[in-house]
Structure 1
Amino acid sequence: MPSTRILAALLGIFISSMMAGLNNRVGSLGLVDVQGALSLSADDGSWLNTVYVSGELLITPFATWFAITFSMRRFHLLMVICCTLIAIALPLANNLPLLIALRFIQGIFSGALIPLLMMMALKTLPLHIRLHGLALYAMTATFSPNIALWLTGQWSDGFNDWRLLYWQVIPLCLLAIGLVNWGLPKEGIKTARFKEGNWPGMFFGIIGMCLITIGLTQGVRLEWLNSSLISSSLLLGCVLFGLYLATEWFHPTPFINLRLLGRRNLGVGSIIFTGLLIVLMSGTTLPILFLGAIQDYRIAQSAPLGLIIALPQLILGSLVALLLYKKWVDARYVLAVGLACIAIACFLAAQLNGDWHRDQFITAQIFQAIGQPMAVVPMLFLMTSIVAPHEGPYFSGIINTLRVFGTLAGGAIVGQLFVERGHFHSEMLLNQASLNNSALDSLAPSALAGIIAQQSTVLSIADLYLIFGAAACVLIPLVLIMTHVPAPNLQPDVSTSSKG
């Protein structure tokens, strides 16, 4: 059993990981208030999200390598202290270039923290409690994105102070610093590792990932290949990222070991995990989009829908972990049931119409709250169970890179499908209206345009729910071809216990 100090350090790393997730999500949800307070246009403000995610993505494959090289304690404390200082400074920035630069740097420091949670859980937790550590990591995908809705509403509407969108992380940072500083032992810097690093590959990877992020986050706004910025960013980004992956494949000491993906549960699991992250966008992104566009809801008014998913995660993750410890339970079927619950939630919400308000989404959100931990925790178990202890840092780099890419892709897919389906339904409704002369005669052009815009939005979001529900169903057969992993032994290892 890990010592009290190690468990305290793990708690500190978990808190900092939650902070990193909130840094991203709350900053994105509250962007409208930041734009209003600083008199920024929507186009200018959109770059605040782009640069943050760019910073988060570019550090993700390399964070565990630096944690091993500098020591977990030293690297983690440096990242969190820098996050704290930037959080203090962000609301004080008085011009857009400075704000963008600070947000980019904060993305780098925050993005390094979540991979450390997976690495720490695999390194320090014995098998009989490791699943509970994975449940903590799962909360970065199930808890923090949903609780961020409520927090954003509190800072923007409750306290009516946009600066709290950035300052909110300071108490969490200070708590994480104290726990990790006390819990982890001091270690020296492994300077010999600097000679082993794949530095050319890192150069290609950093630039490539930044360019891909620009393409995915700005693509909808700039109409994708109609923009030379987007087309060149995606083309050059993919080429450079491909070069990075090639150098990692052949390098004797890579930052992430791509050969791990040759194992069935890791290769197939990576596809499922990325698809799952995209499907999870249906939990809060689509209800917020609908209620904001159709009912003029503020974030604070939509926040209860996020709480319905977020609060149960405090116990459901560990309950799923306990279930997976049962010898008669097959994790693949638990994962399949979780995906089925998410699909049901999507199909229920796809019945929406223009009269729906917040309460009509409650049943779908309950299915999301049940399905998300049942999908994410077994997914992590099936993948990590075939990873040796010394491979943990490599796996953490891979899974967290997929996590950021999946979230990026999900946002781009939602945005583009919403635009495409909106255009389609607008044309169909206009054609139907043109065939009904009495409707055209009785309505002013502006009133007719408003009705068509509203109905096309409703139909577009319903289509998105159907697409995500179908995607969840498609993932289920992939789950069933993964290799069965028996439940781990719930009893602590005797030799480990005797040493303690």
Structure 2
Amino acid sequence: MAGDQLIRPVGEPTRRDWIAVMSVMLGAFMAVLDIQITNSSLKDIQGALSATLEEGSWISTSYLVAEIIMIPLTAWLVQLLSARRLAVWVSLGFLISSLLCSMAWSLDSMIVFRAMQGFTGGALIPLAFTLTLIKLPEHHRAKGMAMFAMTATFAPSIGPTLGGWLTENWGWEYIFYINVPPGLIMIAGLMYGLEKKEAHWELLKSTDYTGILTLGIGLGCLQVFLEEGHRKDWLESSLIVTLGSIALLSLITFVIVQISKPNPLINLRILRNRNFGLSSISSLGMGVGLYGSIYLLPLYLAQIQNYNALQIGEVIMWMGVPQLFLIPLVPKLMKFVSPKWLCTLGFGLFGLASFSSGVLNPDFAGPQFNQIQIIRALGQPLIMVTISLIATAYILPQDAGSASSLFNILRNLGGAIGIALLATLLDARTKTYFDYLREAVVPTNPQVAERLASMTDRFGSDAAALGKLSDIVHQQALIMAYNDAFHFVGIALGISMLAILLTKKLPAGLKAGEAH
């Protein structure tokens, strides 16, 4: 493929270009942050809105569903409205919906406002990716991807910590108020940095409405299927079966329609591009690793170690803070080491951290996780800065929007699929290990008999002693299940590493990461 056919802007980026890129990165950071920031405050929000635990889960689900529907529509909306008009409109929408969330008067109103927030925020993530490709030449691309990595890895890492701190000290409303100052800065930067262009309303006549409809329904139903499936016991629920069936049929129809159209909504043919296809597999695995780790660690610390939100946040910060210093260094490393090998190393370190987390015992708490978190913090930036470069190295300019949509959808779906599988795995393995351990804990065993006698003396009755022993056995079964879950994450990251190893050599400019 000829070099001049690749995404390769001519000339140095202007000050306005940099301001535009940094502004949309700020928006993407806020959008990703808002996925995680509510999780540590859900109990407070549920209490304020008189919602049950199951009802409250829709506060997160509604955001994620709306976000994943919007991501693939962004490329089409940029063509229709222009990047400037779309970016400013969705930024305003994100800001307004954030304020509305803080003023929600019922669960229904909160779900609606969170969906609005997810829909508008969903455009900011692929916009950041796309503007990096079309505004920055190759020798500055690594810097742009470093900023994008900040949104993808640092934001989820600090989300629970920031949410817990704000809720504890100011109230849950402030997890939404916090969007206002950076939101205003973002809008001003976008209005200054992006040039005005005419809208192309004539595109409405040739729009692939079948593709929009089938993809929107398919992704929306799939996201709800994954988010709510575990809570409703999967195929035992007629709702989940229906949603899964609709998602499957819609997405199959979408693929057939897209392949048959000369100008599809999303050009799925780019998945045949070796680097993009393999990097997409790795992006899926990265989603499992990133969101799966952020799901498992707080849950373990809360269930087994009885940590509160602030204590959990302190542990997670050991992964978040180092990335602030490491991410800017990755483009400099690329002057000496190929992005392919840096990405491979990143997956290796992240996988090592996951397998190292799978040696839990009742005494394995926050301090024991600190070194593991640092290893994870070393790996994640190496992946996120380089994987986007590897994926887009041979993508044509007209396919930038499709590449952005697919890449971000797959990472988000990786997270949703990973969390759904991990939640199911935890339940299933806990039951299996509990049954196994219970068979071993019998009164005829001298050690068990001695322990029971000691506990009976301590608690004053056989029933209380047996109850406590059952709790200990259940806790041990749960710890063993968490070990399996962390191993599962490590395997997903290992597969991602192998996929990166199979990608081909990058163009010289990207490989060197030169800064002219």
What is the TM-score when the length of structure 2 is the normalising length?
Answer: 0.91
Q: Pick from 299, 316, 319: which aligns with 1:289? A: 299
Do structure 1's residue 28 and structure 2's residue 39 form an aligned pair? yes
2:94 is aligned with what amino acid? C
Residues in 1 aligned to 2:204 and 2:382: alpha-carbon distance in whole angstroms? 40
Once the two structures are TM-superposed, the CA of residue 37 in structure 1 deviates from its matched residue by: 2.1
Do structure 1's residue 448 and structure 2's residue 469 form an aligned pair? yes
Q: Counterpart of 1:497?
A: none
My pick for the range that moved more, 383-392 or 464-473, is 464-473
Q: Counterpart of 2:412?
A: 404
Residues in 2 aligned to 1:350 and 1:277: alpha-carbon distance in whole angstroms? 19
Q: Pick from 7, 10, 15: which aligns with 2:26? A: 15
Cα-to-partner distance string for 1:200-259 (whole Å, 9 max, x where unaligned): 111111111111111100011101011111111011111112211221222222221100
Once the two structures are TM-superposed, the CA of residue 440 in structure 1 deviates from its matched residue by: 5.1
My pick for the range that moved more, 116-125 or 47-56, is 47-56
Q: Counterpart of 2:351?
A: 343
Can you give the 5+ residue segments of structure 1 that lack an aligned partner in the other structure?
Answer: 494-500
My pick for the range that moved more, 351-360 or 468-477, is 468-477
Residues in 1 aligned to 2:175 and 2:426: alpha-carbon distance in whole angstroms? 27
Contact 2:292 2:419 (8 Å CA) reproduced:
no
Q: Pick from 437, 461, 471: which aligns with 2:492? A: 471
Q: Counterpart of 1:498?
A: none
The alpha-carbon distance between structure 1 residues 229 and 431, as it changes in their structure 2 partners (threshold 3 A), is: same
Cα-to-partner distance string for 1:14-40 (whole Å, 9 max, x where unaligned): 111011011111123321221122221
State, as a whole percentage, how many aligned pairs show the same letter: 29
Once the two structures are TM-superposed, the CA of residue 294 in structure 1 deviates from its matched residue by: 1.3
Q: Pick from 206, 211, 217: which aligns with 1:201? A: 211
2:377 is aligned with what amino acid? A
Residues in 1 aligned to 2:136 and 2:325: alpha-carbon distance in whole angstroms? 19
Can you give the 5+ residue segments of structure 2 that lack an aligned partner in the other structure?
Answer: 1-11, 457-464
- SS of residue paired to 1:450: helix
Q: Counterpart of 1:109?
A: 120
- SS of residue paired to 1:297: coil
The alpha-carbon distance between structure 1 residues 350 and 144, as it changes in their structure 2 partners (threshold 3 A), is: same
Do structure 1's residue 96 and structure 2's residue 107 form an aligned pair? yes
Q: Counterpart of 1:356?
A: 364
Task: Return structure 1 stretches of 4+ with deviation > 4 angstroms.
Answer: 439-443, 489-493
CA root-mean-square deviation: 1.7
Q: How many residues align?
A: 490
Q: Pick from 207, 211, 225: which aligns with 1:215? A: 225
Q: Pick from 394, 412, 430: which aligns with 1:422? A: 430
Cα-to-partner distance string for 1:90-135 (whole Å, 9 max, x where unaligned): 1322222222111112211111110000110000001111111111
Do structure 1's residue 230 and structure 2's residue 237 form an aligned pair? no
Q: Counterpart of 1:372?
A: 380
- SS of residue paired to 1:352: coil
Residues in 2 aligned to 1:339 and 1:487: alpha-carbon distance in whole angstroms? 23
Q: Pick from 194, 197, 216: which aligns with 1:187? A: 197
1:464 is aligned with what amino acid? A
- SS of residue paired to 1:405: helix
1:403 is aligned with what amino acid? R
Q: Counterpart of 1:5?
A: 16
Residues in 2 aligned to 1:387 and 1:317: alpha-carbon distance in whole angstroms? 24
Do structure 1's residue 331 and structure 2's residue 348 form an aligned pair? no
Contact 2:292 2:422 (8 Å CA) reproduced:
no
2:114 is aligned with what amino acid? R
- SS of residue paired to 1:30: helix
Q: Counterpart of 2:268?
A: 258
Do structure 1's residue 139 and structure 2's residue 150 form an aligned pair? yes
1:364 is aligned with what amino acid? I
Q: Counterpart of 1:459?
A: 480
Residues in 1 aligned to 2:97 and 2:42: alpha-carbon distance in whole angstroms? 17
